[in-house]
Structure 1
């Protein structure tokens, strides 16, 4: 399991004792709160947060608010600030400590929100959220009472407890003497909602290690690492990204890629199948990207360019620029023949693949497909004159094709713009006038919101508070049962008829859809996918999937 942050609560251990025990996981740094020596040993608290070392290097400061509340601040380049809270709230049997910790936590969360931190709070709350949901949605006056103030604060301010998928028989995090309940939570602020993936409760009842089951919540790390990449680019006064040159990849390089990734994905299928789906994805993604970086050619380009040309024209322009770079290198070799070395032969092998692809792609533009030497050193006897002449003619042909395609695109754009203007004059005169006068788009902006709460009415002026209130309104405008129907028969009559199977449709048509795909079906599907498509956040393209080896494909099939 890849855990970046891990919290333990109610340890009754001094920070020195915890630091000594924390030496066992050598790749983590621990931050601990001091014990409250003024209290009874059962109330002394003691909480610790373990952070993996690559992330621990970003820790700016940590604050022990009490022996039961700890926060750690991590600063990342790109003005991204993360604050992680870990809390232990005493049961109501110790009402004074219970109330003090809740008030302290609410104040700390308010400060984190005010200072613009992405923040998460996790720990043992010793309270039952499932019992509060009904009160929050149906009895707002009761929900605002002091006894419910923590859950009311969290839900009213857009915090999310991501209901986890459970590996045990019940959705409980606490078990003792046959009683199972859910009192441990991981709450994420509204800024973190879009980065939540899933959560899992792990069953540790058989280990006798604790009477609590740990919760693991998974987040998309792009919030942290994409901001680091962009900030690093800004620091270097550039914005760039790395792209792979699939046009220049030789069959031998694809074979090396397949072999390299298969060597990295050496996990037994039975072990791989037992993992959580997030761990499967991380394992395959890391190894495929590592194999690409190790074997395939790539280059760095600017990522702040907004394409204004169609894909085929932009591709033609890229090929034309590449050909001119090759032509320039040949021109330099003609002028300084003594600079030729074996490295030129190695580079020529890569260039030759892409040049042949260009000849094949634009063969209708050439009277005769040029023949290029397989080894650059064979052109030395004539001082590279023949090769220079061939590439010069190809460059002129591509330049003429580019000018023609560019003129066609300009004419098409002008004609399309005129037709749209004419159409808007007939169908949308308002849009036509705005376009003709170059008016900018206007929109309604909520600059203040009044919440007419029966007990605590509020006027919101802060843009973040207004945004959270709008989101919260539309999320809670329609009551959602905390226990959704488990069977179609439990639905209201209005909806039951809509979801009942249609009598004229045989249920057997879905039998093949529910069966897992075979390896042959998966390989056929991938092979039919088009090349040259932009990858998603994973940066894994169809070309990479098509050239995976048998070992990696067998693991990928388990994930599918």
Structure 2
């Protein structure tokens, strides 16, 4: 070992004299003293075992696996893994952190979806011996740290053949939550042709398992800023609500409210009306309800006795740890032939004057008396008494452990019974919490008490200062939708590109329908909206929830109507409505203390949301009645859903496969759609649909001058302006996005080239063979399908697809919409492209490489999984895995029969139904799913395995729905809805006509289709559905 300043190097070179290779571990002085064991295989393997207090242990396994050109590589590998298995502990230990790291000499290895086979990113074969190595790591439940925290881990090695990811850090599950960040270092401060893989671990709480990592609420906040959260009111039984109702009624009867709430066009008066309502309700709430100031909850629920026993265990454990090392270093003779002797430098860490002191003996004596342990602890350690002391320390530790286990088990049993009882109550009162408990669903929450940022010089910084965190967070969410190019002010039509000017021309609508948009809001509209509001939703800045308005006296609804109609008449939004709270939550991946991996939930004023919901319903009705939007862009409009798009895409696949024609279906990814909307262009989009001017002004004013504050831990940031886009959490925002996006759909629909043609024809006279002249034809062309920011392109030609993308790219550029072109995926039955796995497509001015979905793989669109060759085996496997996973969680819970019936019928089966809405699930898959569900029900209900199946699915009593029956009902309902939906009715007609042409049935197809013993391969979805009946 070679010592450097503050660090120790454990060097392990290959001693063959041929080259300078091997591996090494550099460890700081702080951790060096905790080394309990080391073992090496020259140049290939290093094992270091570190022991800490309270039996915590860190195991470091450093590997340098042989390359393909290394001689005797199989023997080398066997030697390494055999030694590694000797050091690996198979026992489950919650105090053991394991790391496997080094140069594995294989490029970006990961496991397939089944977690069975290790494969390489470049699809090359993983050598057999290294395949065994990765399977060993998987079986021992290790996780690739960079794969876990990063979507695309960087490569670590570069040569003339390309870039490769050869270096890895694997960790066990216990340590993953403590890993703060991971990256590679390309700044070479050492002689190597590999980049250094690094990860940062939060060590301050590493050896304290039950520590509360939330920000301490004892920290005083500056008094010159309003940084605390609003009041939260305790709710509130029916009697308390009745008091609130009566107090509001009495207060609003005062004459001054009649003077305030009157028809007006004065914006100052409108502001006063809204503010008066807020302040009145807040004052009454404070007088009526108990107030709870917001502060972080203390999550430490362990009783005092358990905490005392835990501390006693730690103290004795520390003494035993020091005692063993002291005896080994200072009392027992050193065996010169012992290969596992400790490094001599550890001697200074375990000297006598730092270990067995008079104070330590006194504490030990006091602790012994608490547990009735009678032993006189000596003040001196020597070779005569150390064996007895070791025995007594061990006995004391065992006594404390037994008492700790007894008390802990009692406490855990109490908690289990408490939560079982609460779950039973939630079955009637709070089904959401019951489902979260049974299915182990936890709300996504983060604590922004530190941030990781990258400077202009690409240096990574960890920010812990509260003021800096506030500033960075405000800057991120304020500029989340900003773009690099200067936004255009589309105040006049000539500001638009020439091609798009005729697209944005106003399309006149009936005046009577336009007047309905801005007609005075009626009492029935207000009451229906208030009754439809959900309970237990987070309030906005004032703390006024929906329940406040549900218990608002109906006789005073005229006050609300006066305010709402004044807003509708003037287009002015009260200033009290122009503030909101943002609550950041993580995206599906680990957020890694990076704000880019979070998204905000916005908390708006509840009265504003009521008003906006009313005008949203009006706008929705207007768009539906006038058919103002393109038929393939109907998201959020009454009567539309994702089902139309899913049916259209599957129909395109079915017909093109049957007619042996190529098709190309491409999906694209939009980034920050709502945040990047140009308000001037939104005005043009609304004017295009002939919305009243005052209505347009009111919509724009909802987002102009808006201010947000961010909830960070136990405080709020300073307010900041909404500079771009619209509010994602506003109820009207989805429809506004559809309006904003609709011009692209019109431009693409107006093109005369491209798309996928769906066509069916049948003869007028069966004796006339000339179909060209004497036939009925039904045609449908599908070019583009959109649902909010999910966009799907359909075409029979790549050339025509590129022409449509050129038009789209121009629209995206001037409308400030950002496309992640690198995330486009292509679904096609073109076998040449499928074999290549990628293809180049000209997307506007950019030539992009698009991933082509494999022959057996699926493309997920709106939650449905499509295969270009109708090979649905992976989807069958997925729904079976989903069912297994959810029933596995259910079986572990102590729940009643009613609960499991509720979970299966209301959660599991609806999820499976949605995933399979575009296909017909075969009988054997139906049976397998039913078996899994029945098995879970029998397990929970303690029924024998041979219990009658018919009794479980009987409709007479509460029962589990048979998946086969559910599929028939769901498909029948979908077929009926699609047949009468103007968007999808042509798809159904074409499928039926093609079926009639194929089988030449003169009457109902049911009798003919069902004569087949099993569905034919060439059956389309309609025919498979008929066969299912």
Query: What's the TM-score once normalised by structure 1's chain length?
Result: 0.37
Which one has more relative contact order, counting CA pairs under 8 Å at least 6 apart?
1
Greater gyration radius: 2
- The structure with the greater share of residues assigned to helix is 1
Query: What's the TM-score once normalised by structure 2's chain length?
Result: 0.22
